[in-house]
Structure 1
């Protein structure tokens, strides 16, 4: 998934409760699904950031030599400016981009 082009808001906004609970007919289940998706997004972004910052890592035991790397700072700032994973998850939920299933319902059928 391309999180860099997310249309999620950068600040907190109010959502219509009925739109959030519409797919599951249960607000708590909807929030639980969005929370799990936000955790997935957070892990993906964290892994991606760590991989990019590893390129700049210097593996020496000396704490005296600390270099400022402008490219490293730019990468860090880029990830800081992205919308929060929870906002991305809510946006995906409202657009119907999250696949979910309830195992209890599938077993009952």
Structure 2
């Protein structure tokens, strides 16, 4: 995931409902898929941020040695300026970069195939 070059908006924007539900013909299914992808993106970003901030961690019990680290502040500011996970997920959905399948439809297809006499 390339967060630096994402075209996702960092502010709220209106999206045509017909564009959102075009792939599924069901707005609720589309929103559910987008929400699941946003959760995945959020987990990835959180893990990446924690890994980067762990580089700056000091494991001293002394409160006297707490100081502001300029690099740590810059990393935090970078992540604060990123588009929100739901905006990234919506962008991926509209660009058809999210693979999805309807498991109910897939199960019906499997039953039809397995019910054939060969």
Q: C-alpha separation between the residues in 1 aligned to 2:62 and 2:105?
A: 58
RMSD after superposition: 0.7
Deviation at 1:14, TM superposition (A): 0.3
* Unaligned segments of structure 1, at least 5 residues: none
Q: C-alpha separation between the residues in 1 aligned to 2:100 and 2:61?
A: 47
Q: C-alpha separation between the residues in 2 aligned to 1:17 and 1:26?
A: 10
- Relative contact order: is structure 1 or structure 2 higher (C-alpha 8 Å, sep ≥ 6)? 1
**Number of residue pairs matched by the alignment:** 109
Deviation at 1:64, TM superposition (A): 2.7
Q: Which has the larger radius of gyration?
A: 2
TM-score of the aligned structures, taking structure 2 as reference length: 0.90
TM-score of the aligned structures, taking structure 1 as reference length: 0.97
* 1:74 match: 74
Q: C-alpha separation between the residues in 1 aligned to 2:44 and 2:89?
A: 13
Moved over 2 A (4+): none
* Unaligned segments of structure 2, at least 5 residues: 110-118
